[in-house]
Homo-oligomer: A and B are copies of this chain.
């Protein structure tokens, strides 16, 4: 334990050097990591096969095995992602505000890395590479704890990444892999070395982290996402979007779990939605008034409207207005991603204004809630709380700011009292 805290300190020290490294050095480091991963790919795949084999023997379900597998396609995708991150504008040292308080007395709000991020995530080795890349690009040290099924792959990936940056000014200590539950409990106690925790997982796990640490936490929790099909919706477009939102990747947190349908279009729309979803094998839990239009559907209970299925299942109910749809989402949703399908601009505006979620979409699939699709390069998670970062968290969410005030000997006394000089507060950006 003492040893581990020392390792956290080392990450902290390396992070202070990383924070000052040049844009081009970090860009080059990302490319070196991508090259190293490609040159070691056969070894990576071999180690990963061992993890998959162990997981299979342990009876881990297929969906998780699929996420655990580090395929050629995933390697191509993450190494491409590292090169794309290198091309994104340097997030360090950007001016967010600049104001002259008085001639020659300049205030600037400038971005700096947060410091050291502790990241706890599922058994997805490709996620490890993405997260490490985001940390490096944003100048933050990173401590990684992936799902235990991926232990061997993760250990090897961290080794490759460390090796690829060992000749950089910031060395290889900016990244550290940890493995056990005990290690995680140490991490939660590492206030002082660790500046931010990002746990991905169930609500219960995120809550456990929040309740057991004094380090700030950005929680990536449940996604109970809804799509509301308004009276004025283009129904063909609506069906296409609903199918995508439910079945394109049902295990994702941004998949739609609840469909809210305007009661006026229930007789025409519900049978079409029912057919499209059941053809794809979706089990439908429908409110009583929907059942006549949805043959084969199961009668929904209130619990269904609070459920994140993460599977080929969904809940359906009718609402009488956009306001009722908003109320349902506010009381049943998880403030993640919700969509309206409508041709009525006023209703779209009400929905966007009143649904208090990180992502609010009009006429498209909830599945677009994603850092890469948003153009953020990648994401470390999707934040559902309202502070600091909300929605997909990319480079920006890993930055803090400092206020830098540069003067020529100014004192507050000169600007105080009835005869004090006034501030002129002239905006410079």
Q: Which of A's residues lie within 8 Å of B, judged by CB? A: 16, 19-20, 99, 101, 105, 107, 109, 112, 114-115, 195-196, 210-211, 214, 216, 218, 234, 237, 240-241, 243-244, 248-249, 348, 352-354, 356-365, 367-369, 373-375, 385-388, 390-392, 400-413, 415-416, 423, 425
Do the beta carbons of A385 and B423 come within 8 Å of each other? no
Do the beta carbons of B16 and A364 come within 8 Å of each other? no
Q: What residues on B are CB-neighbors of A387 within 8 Å?
A: 114, 196, 216, 218, 387-388, 400
- Nearest-CB distance from A139 to chain B (Å)? 11
A330 to B342, CA, bound (A): 54
A399 to B15, CA, bound (A): 29
A388 to B396, CA, bound (A): 11
Q: What residues on B are CB-neighbors of A369 within 8 Å?
A: 403, 405
Identical copies in the complex: 2
Given A237-B409, A364-B407: A402 and B105 interface contact (C-beta under 8 Å): no
- Nearest-CB distance from A91 to chain B (Å)? 13
Q: What residues on B are CB-neighbors of A392 within 8 Å?
A: 403
Q: What residues on B are CB-neighbors of A406 within 8 Å?
A: 348, 361-364
Given A244-B412, A411-B244: A99 and B404 interface contact (C-beta under 8 Å): no
- Nearest-CB distance from A84 to chain B (Å)? 10
Given A387-B196, A391-B403: A20 and B353 interface contact (C-beta under 8 Å): yes
- Nearest-CB distance from A275 to chain B (Å)? 18
Given A357-B402, A369-B403, A404-B352: A99 and B412 interface contact (C-beta under 8 Å): no
Most buried by B among A20, A216, A249: A216
Do the beta carbons of B365 and A410 come within 8 Å of each other? yes
A409 to B402, CA, bound (A): 42
Do the beta carbons of A361 and B409 come within 8 Å of each other? no
Do the beta carbons of B364 and A409 come within 8 Å of each other? yes
A20 to B355, CA, bound (A): 12
* 11 A-B pairs (CB sep. < 8 Å): A101-B368, A101-B375, A107-B375, A114-B387, A216-B387, A362-B404, A362-B405, A363-B410, A364-B409, A390-B400, A391-B401
Q: What residues on B are CB-neighbors of A423 within 8 Å?
A: 373, 375
Known: A241-B410, A364-B407. 4 other contacts (CB 8 A): A20-B353, A362-B406, A363-B408, A392-B403
- Nearest-CB distance from A99 to chain B (Å)? 5
A410 to B105, CA, bound (A): 49
A413 to B368, CA, bound (A): 10
Q: What residues on B are CB-neighbors of A362 within 8 Å?
A: 404-407
A313 to B98, CA, bound (A): 34
A144 to B306, CA, bound (A): 33
Q: What residues on B are CB-neighbors of A365 within 8 Å?
A: 410-412
